[in-house]
């Protein structure tokens, strides 16, 4: 569900930096380009249109500009690194997300089996692993990663927070790492960019490849991040459980808090998949609790007519209500603003509202967060992670750096990290997904009292 | 996992009351007793030994007493009620539990298809449905219940709390109900007993059959209650998720709160099934948090050596720690003492303990409660519920009353309600189950500092 | 995973026919176009580029042609039908596929709740329901479809085969249907086109909207059909089971036959998701069984070195081996060529090959076909089906006909049925998906002996 | 669901042989017996009544006999083996079954962590591993088995068939094994008994402990074998799939073949759990296909009235119909008679029956066999396996031999192998389980034409 910004992008926005001229022949046995019906190498000038709406593309052409395009991911015929010289490292940072182990497995398998790279370090517990003494890197081999995709979590461990970039750079240099894969969210990708820049300035020929990880699916320009499909599946189950609870109680109110700090994608898709939600609250669409057109009044009407109701709320929704309680609580180690718990707030506000009106309601609150984050990837996320790991290795071996691998409209592409970290993707209330949610829930398009 | 009290029981303890002499021939086509290899009627004098330990049985015999026995459940050859005269009612009360819909389905199917009973009322939202105007009973037919076992929750709805018995009795009489099935926990079964007694005193020939529902598995003398198998399955998944979270973080502590107000069966079995738990805290085994042999010190040692740990806690464990905060918070509508949230308390105590020692830990707290309660029954619970529904109908049609149907060592029996409600089953720390938990987790048998 | 033909397409290829001028204002409360951040109506001239590769688009421009574009799906501001006059019908035909019930539910919900259409007929058991006396149509309401998405199969029933088009047309006219939704595969869509044409020729203003259903994902131009995600998930589980069987036996050979008559998409994706397959055989890539570079010789080598192996085969692969046995066996009622069972043939050929060499192997054959086809849709398919049902209704109400709704690169579009039925999508061996399969399995790119 | 033979059993039937006097103090920290509320050692004279029906027990007493009793499993205070001298071996033989890995894990964990045994060999691929050169034993440690319970199959591998006992004995002696755990079915347990006898005769003090594995649940005297709960769960899913297929087709017939060579337990329980089956065919209840009271005639009536039907058949049912085709096909390597495929036979007979009558039916045949056998254990099987592994180690360390560990009415006991292998448990048609199946399906008690 890509939401494409309407600001014009220029071709150069998406140009990828390479460490230097390709010097080695790839060991992959693929056809020369232009063969028909055979797996083949990808060429840098095979590019994908960034926009697919004809009006937008026509606009560029009318202005005499070339519409922006993206470089396709895939194996390159010539490499920058000689495989025998590569010493690779993998780090996974930030919160858990289904598929991390699949990505790590794919990186190790591709490096080993396809390029013959045998020096692979697994950095422990996120970026702190570059600077801490207590958890030395783990040697990664196909035997180690063979079955890890069947389990959730991260084999390497993860953590939030970024040590000083200079220390990371020193650690990379000291360990003689020349290919680095950084799996992580927004903060990690910003660190990746800083590390790539610092290395370049230091004259180090080290490829830094980002692999975006965010269960919220809020990475700009990338159509779906890994783990999102699994998260929606499990979120749907939580909604179904809340529905059973609400339906089984007199004036039962099911309340499910889902992931989504800044973007309501999981809440929207899971509510749609379930078909049982009556109200979906997301960060992108403001709402009032009180007042004649507030959420509580609508909930009241629903309960009077149907005796049960189901509310799905993204963790980042309705933050204005938590502002006072949370004043000054600051940020977490990843630098994200600490969010109050909108689920608990809603529960107490609902209970108070109906108590004030002498009505008995039974609120059932479900917060499946960690259960979802730690699940193994579903089949479609596994496929995605496997392809992404393969393409990240192809990019690194070709000497690309400062970029990440992502999927745009089903095709894997290269995107410069600075482009991706320039903002966050959010759910456009005008997007068909939100329209489908409104149609499915029957909730009012606006639940605010203001004019 | 029956835990058998060592107090002597007398034969009469388990004698079942019948409304009066059986007057009608059963419409079921079953063999006469003593046929070989054919489904047959059950006779009241087919009884099961209550004790199975030879020492205990020998003790009774040595004292010249007959060891206590239980009446087997099953279809009787002669009935007290003429099927065409029966007007049955079903009520489901208390918290949700996997399998409620299976029981209701089995009751309706057996009444209709096997006995030809066509008047079946579904009382709405628990016992309040007898006295409230807002939710009239629902007419129950095979068509209505055909697929309800695929969904969790309760089709009829449920609620906690017991209206005055006299009002329930009046409602039963006014609606001309003569067979009543009460699916519910301890409180509901006490109400069932009171209703049965009041009806008998009023001279009403009404069969009241209890079907015990408690996800905690704490019904006395019954070896496993329905929903427990499903609950353990899902609780294991929650533990596995917490393990992935703990394993994926530096000094990660997974903390899972499970059902179990007075009995740690779910926590013990799920921890055993998972094989990942390091500490299991249950109501039956006291523990200290602080001190050299307290839980926190043991957790500290575990983290130092392994960098991650997993704690499973039953909701009723460690209540002394919540006493102050909770002083005066009273009881819920079912009359159960309101429990503080031991999971949240543990989380904050753990965080404080390590903060005081300047150690970074990452606590991941999972409380899967409602998700488990609202799940559909697994196959083994479905089979159990189906058999129990069939046997409850057989008992009612034969004119039994004031009893409940339960499974003792795999066989379905009749037990007088007053026997069952005389106490609660709990996990004996000397039982093989707890021994297996200690062996599997490696936790100390005692985590208290006192001598 | 769209595989885009390289033959040039012209703009008109994708032009959609409308029954006539839009005469009524839509009852949907949506914003006027060009509002920001609000759900809004879709305009016919909002079109999507069909090609997204810049080289291809530039080719059109260089030739002075406009590149082909697709009409976007979505609610139109003006309708052809007055909702009160609509009498809609839904038919589901062909084999089962996860999500059929979701589509039916979405059609009924959208017609009823959003357009106020209350006359909806469910045709029973596929196209035969138009001409058979034994199964009259079912009246469809929100109450009927409320929970059907939780169950697999088709509430309406389905069947293969197409009665004479003239009879279908007469049935439609006799029942006064003016909006018809046809959910089905290739054969059904060809019937839909014929019906639409015949109706137009007969001067009947009836909207015929196709909803493509093929678990094989082989619909041309559509990037993924509903049910495919669920199918891949379940197919992965079957592969995992075969792996456990193969791994648990000495010289164990796991053999899994998956859906895919003409296209190996399910086999390829499920094998990739599992990460355990050693050989993937698909219809698009020929292979020899015997000979030094045949499948059996490669299997032999694998067993010698690893003692277990895993083969995934699409049902349409290696059909030349079944030709003789099957000569003259003809077509099934849908007109598809009857396929021999490549799984059973492989099993016997493998057993014979090793028996001839005096080697003991244990072949474990799993064919999960019906289990997969009859499963309920997973979350992502549910979302897809829900959107597709909504858009099919929007298209019909706007008076579109002879078209189907499909998803192209994540966006829902309208495609003329004749364009879609002009061929079948298949897995291009040069596509990144197949490349990823080769890399993941390590199987040779070619397993034929010919030069 | 124990089916208790009515032949009188004598106390001595269940007496367990010990290698010699206990010489060492157990390293387990358990309470002395008779402590209250503490995990404690089990004493050999703590025995369980074998019969629990009062009539049966009274019969023994009336004859002046002591009723038969069983020795309880559990840790003994004194051991026969000094842990430091133990060299243990584990072998898994026969077909796969959910839980094998759980048992192996529990054996290794208990030996290592609780007794300090560090020499543990894993014999590869069943009993052939004792005599083959190609697969040397694997050294087993907690690290190796830590996560194997999350995967199905057998880490050690398995195979059918028994090499000459003398060769197995020589292999055991040559490898200096003194404690042997044999996980397997009927054939394996017979081998275990022969090995134990031969070792005793050879004067070797080697403990041989059997752990019964049969997915069919047909071990005599043991109430449920491990893997059975998982198998019923998955079998129910297959039945549900067949139901969806049958329901979705005109005159759809779902046909599911389940495990059960000699016993219909899985078919009966899964059908009951599903609630959708109309006919359940098991080996214990004969049936005719043809004739006025045959299965086909009943199926015909069902289809005429409901248009779909569901048949569940155990693989060992109706073998008379396969006799001719199979004449002389002999036995499999385990010595089990090769069964024809009753599922395929039924399918072709059903198709022919209706073709002869010019009726179109759609038969959907599902055989989930290997998928079920290779699944990981569910929570309740995992708990069971863990307890059984612990108790098998306790028994071996105490010097017990020639016995197996099993669960009788929920309690773990020791049973001499020769008692258990004297017959097979089967489903008594007079048992409440079968009665519940008849009630749930509505199928006639007899479907034979004979008088």
Q: What is the pLDDT of residue D340?
A: 79
Q: Which residue of chain C comes nearest to B148, CA vs CA?
A: C147
Contact pairs from chain C to chain D, CB under 8 Å: 102
Q: Give how far Cα D396 sits from Cα of B288, D79, D205, D211, D402, Å.
A: 37, 9, 11, 12, 10
Closest-CA residue in chain D for C304?
D134
In angstroms, the CA D404 to CA D17 distance is: 11
Q: Which of D154, D374, D375, D376 to mutate to test the interface with C (most CBs of C within 10 A)?
A: D374
Which candidate, B146, B5, B125, B22, places its Cα nearest to that of B75? B22
Chain C residue closest in CA terms to D129: C250
* Residue A401, strand partner residues: A17
In the numeric block, which tokens belong to residue B280?
Answer: 């299991």
Interface contact A269, partner C, CB < 8 A = yes
Instruction: Give B88-102 as a DSSP string.
Output: EEEEE-SS--TTHHH
Give CA separation, C9 vs A15, B99, B304, C51, C409, in Å.
30, 57, 66, 10, 17
CB pair distance less than 8 Å for B429 and D378: no
| Chain D residues touching A147 at Cβ < 8 A | 151
Option in A379, A387, A442 nearest C113 (CB): A442
Phi and psi torsions of C152, nearest 5°: -75, -175
Report CB contact under 8 Å: C371, D375: no
Is the minimum CB–CB distance between C150 and chain B shorter than 8 Å? yes
**How far does A451 lie from chain B, in Å, by closest CA?**
37
**Model confidence over B37-73: pLDDT tens digits?**
566 889 988 899 998 999 899 999 999 998 999 999 9
Which residue is catalytic, options B216, B218, B223, B240? B216
- Which domains does chain A carry? 11-225+377-420 (3.40.50.450), 228-374+430-441 (3.40.50.460)
* Residue of C132, A354, C427, C328 whose CA lies nearest to D307: C132
pLDDT in the model for residue D33: 44
Smallest Cβ distance to C368: which of D125, D158, D371? D371
DSSP SS3 for C435: helix
Tell whether A213 is within 8 A of chain B (Cβ): no
Residue C400 in contact with partner chain A when CB distance is under 8 A: no
Looking at residue C131, the DSSP 8-state letter turns out to be T
Residues in C touching D362 (Cβ below 8 Å): 159
Range scoring the smallest mean pLDDT among A346-355, C319-328, D52-61, D214-223 = C319-328
Do the Cβ atoms of A19 and C414 come closer than 8 Å?
Answer: no
C157 vs D250: CB contact, 8 Å cut-off?
A: yes
The rounded radius of gyration (Å) of the Cα atoms in chain D is 24
Does this model's pTM top 0.80? My answer is yes
Mutation to test the B interface, candidates C147, C149, C374, most B Cβ within 10 Å: C147
> Distance (Å, rounded) from C-alpha B326 to C-alpha B341?
10
**Contact between D382 and B236 using a beta-carbon 8 Å cutoff:** yes
pLDDT > 60? residue A7: no
Q: Which residues of D touch A150 (CB under 8 A)?
A: 150-151
pLDDT tens for residues D341-354? 899 999 999 999 99
Distance (Å) from the alpha carbon of A376 to chain C's nearest alpha carbon: 12
Asked if C425 and C3 count as a contact pair (C-beta separation under 8 A), the reply is: yes
CB of A31 within 8 Å of a chain C CB? The answer is yes
Residue D403's DSSP bridge partners are D209, D416
Q: Which residues of D touch C128 (CB under 8 A)?
A: 250
* Residue positions of C annotated with a catalytic role: 216
D32: exposed, middle or buried (Cβ count in 10 Å: 0-12, 13-18, 19+): exposed
Chain segment A217-234, per-residue pLDDT in tens: 888 888 889 999 999 999
Which residues, in sequence order, are bridge partners of residue C91? C182
* Cα–Cα distance for residue pair B126/B158, rounded to 1 Å: 4
- Which of A311-325, B147-161, D35-49, D328-342 holds the top average pLDDT? B147-161
pLDDT of residue D4: 43
CB B15 within 8 A of CB B48: no
Judging contacts by C-beta atoms under 8 Å, the chain B residues touching residue D436 are 383, 386-387, 390
Evaluate whether A101 touches A218 at the Cβ level (below 8 Å). Answer: no
Min Cα–Cα distance to chain A from C324, Å: 28
Q: Which residues of B touch D38 (CB under 8 A)?
A: 429-430, 445
**Catalytic residue list of A:** 216
Q: Which ipTM value was assigned to this complex?
A: 0.91
Q: What token pair was written down for C221? A: 């131009």
**Tens-place pLDDT, residues D58-71:** 999 999 998 999 99
User: CB neighbours of A307 closer than 8 A, spacing ≥ 6?
Assistant: A250, A251, A252, B135
- Closest Cα of chain C to B147: distance in Å? 10
More reliable by pLDDT, A429 or C338: A429
Of B262, B416, B421, B335, nearest to B94 (Cα)?
B335
Tens digit of each residue's pLDDT (9 = 90 or more) over C366-391: 999 999 999 999 999 999 999 999 99
Q: Other CB atoms closer than 10 Å to residue B116's CB: what's the count? A: 12
pLDDT band at B439 (very low <50, low <70, confident <90, very high): confident
Looking at the predicted structure, is the pLDDT value of residue A147 above 80? yes
Is a pLDDT exceeding 60 seen at residue B327?
no
CA distance D451 to D447: 11
What pLDDT does D221 receive?
83
Residues of A in contact with B245 (CB under 8 A): 96, 153, 370, 373-374
Kindly state whether A147 is in contact with chain D, defined as any CB-CB distance less than 8 angstroms: yes
In chain D, how long is the greatest CA-to-CA distance? 78
* Interchain CB distance below 8 Å, B365 and A370: yes
User: Which residue is catalytic, options D216, D218, D262, D288?
Assistant: D216
Task: Sort strands B138-139 and B119-122 into parallel, antiparallel or unpaired.
Answer: antiparallel
Residue D201 phi, psi dihedral angles, 5° rounding:
-65, -30
**CB of C402 less than 8 A from some CB of D:** no
Q: Provide φ and ψ at C52, rounded to 5°.
A: -120, -5
Q: Do B229 and D380 touch (CB under 8 A)?
A: yes
Q: What is the mean pLDDT of chain D?
A: 91
C49 with A48: Cβ contact below 8 A? no
The count of C-alpha atoms lying within 13 angstroms of the C-alpha of A429, restricted to the half-sphere facing its C-beta, is: 17
Q: Is A366 helix (H, G, I), strand (E, B) or coil?
A: strand
Q: Does residue A37 sit at the C interface (CB-CB below 8 Å)?
A: yes
- Condensed to tens digits (0 to 9), the pLDDT of residues A35-67 reads 455 668 899 888 999 989 998 999 999 999 989
Q: Do D61 and B61 touch (CB under 8 A)?
A: yes
C11 touches chain A (CB under 8 A): no
Whether the Cβ atoms of residue A315 and residue A346 lie closer than 8 Å to each other: no
Q: Which of A264, A216, A271 is nearest to A242 (CA)?
A: A271
Q: Is B134 a catalytic residue?
A: no
Using an 8 Å CB-CB cutoff, list chain C residues near B147.
151
Q: Between A and B, how many CB-CB pairs are < 8 A?
A: 103
* Residues of chain B positioned with their CB less than 8 A from the CB of D390: 436, 439
Chains contacting A (3+ CB pairs below 8 angstroms): B, C, D
pLDDT-wise least confident of A77-81, B6-10, C88-92, D28-32: B6-10
Q: Do B367 and A367 touch (CB under 8 A)?
A: yes
A440/C105 Cα distance (integer angstroms): 11
Are the C-beta atoms of D40 and D32 separated by less than 8 Å? yes
Mean pLDDT over all residues of chain B? Answer: 91
Smallest CA–CA distance from D151 into chain A, residue: A150
pLDDT in tens, C148-182: 999 999 999 999 989 999 999 999 999 999 999 99
Neighbours of C139 (CB within 10 A): 11
Question: B226 and B381 in contact (C-beta within 8 Å)?
Answer: yes
CA separation for the pair A384, A412 (Å, rounded): 9
Q: Which among B248, B250, B334 is the top mutation candidate for probing chain A, defined by the most A β-carbons within 10 Å of its own β-carbon?
A: B248
A 304-363 near C (Cβ less than 8 A):
none
Q: Which residue in chain B is spatially nearest to C152 when comparing CA positions?
A: B150
> A419 touching B, CB under 8 A?
no
pLDDT tens across A360-372, in order?
A: 999 999 999 999 9
């Amino acid at each position: 569900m890509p939401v494409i910004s309407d600001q014009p992008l220029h071709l150069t926005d998406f140009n990828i930096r390479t460490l230097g001229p390709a010097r080695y022949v790839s060991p992959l046995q693929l056809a020369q380009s232009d063969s028909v019906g055979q797996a083949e190498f990808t060429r840098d000038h095979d590019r994908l249109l960034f926009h697919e709406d004809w009006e937008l593309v026509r606009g560029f052409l009318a202005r005499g500009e070339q519409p922006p395009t993206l470089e396709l991911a895939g194996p390159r015929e010539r490499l920058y690194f000689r495989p025998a010289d590569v010493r690779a490292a993998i780090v996974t940072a930030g919160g858990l997300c289904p598929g991390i182990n699949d990505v790590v497995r794919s990186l190790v398998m591709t490096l080993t089996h396809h390029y013959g790279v045998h020096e692979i370090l697994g950095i422990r517990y996120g970026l702190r692993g570059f600077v801490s003494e207590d958890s030395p890197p783990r040697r990664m081999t196909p035997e180690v990663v063979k079955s890890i995709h069947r389990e959730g979590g991260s084999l390497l461990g993860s953590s939030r927070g970024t040590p000083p970039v200079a220390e990371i750079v020193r650690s990379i240099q000291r360990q003689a790492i020349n290919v680095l894969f950084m799996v992580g969210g927004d903060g990690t990708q910003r660190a990746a960019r800083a590390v790539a820049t610092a290395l370049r300035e230091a004259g180090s020929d080290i490829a830094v490849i980002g692999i975006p990880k965010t269960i919220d699916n809020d990475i700009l320009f990338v159509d779906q991040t890994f783990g999102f499909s699994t998260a929606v599946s499990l979120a749907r189950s939580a909604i179904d459980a809340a529905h059973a609870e609400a339906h089984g109680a007199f004036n039962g109110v099911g309340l499910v808090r889902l992931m989504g700090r800044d973007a309501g994608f999981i809440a929207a898709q899971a509510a749609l998949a379930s078909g049982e939600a009556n109200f979906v609250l997301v960060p992108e669409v403001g709402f009032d609790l009180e007042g004649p057109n507030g959420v509580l009044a609508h909930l009241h009407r629903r309960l009077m007519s149907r005796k049960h109701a189901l509310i799905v709320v993204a963790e980042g929704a309705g933050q204005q209500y938590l502002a006072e309680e949370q004043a000054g609580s600051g940020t977490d180690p990843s630098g994200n603003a600490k969010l109050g718990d909108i689920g608990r707030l809603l529960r107490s506000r609902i209970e108070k509202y109906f108590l004030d009106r002498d009505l008995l309601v039974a609120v059932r609150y479900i917060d499946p967060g960690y259960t979802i984050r730690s699940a193994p990837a579903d089949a479609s996320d596994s496929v995605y992670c496997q392809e992404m790991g393969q393409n990240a290795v192809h990019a690194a071996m070709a000497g690309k750096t400062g970029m990440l691998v992502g999927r745009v409209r089903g095709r894997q592409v290269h995107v410069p990290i600075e482009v991706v970290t320039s903002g966050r993707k959010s759910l456009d209330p005008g997007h068909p997904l939100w329209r489908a949610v409104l149609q499915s829930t029957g909730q009012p398009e606006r639940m605010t009292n203001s004019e």
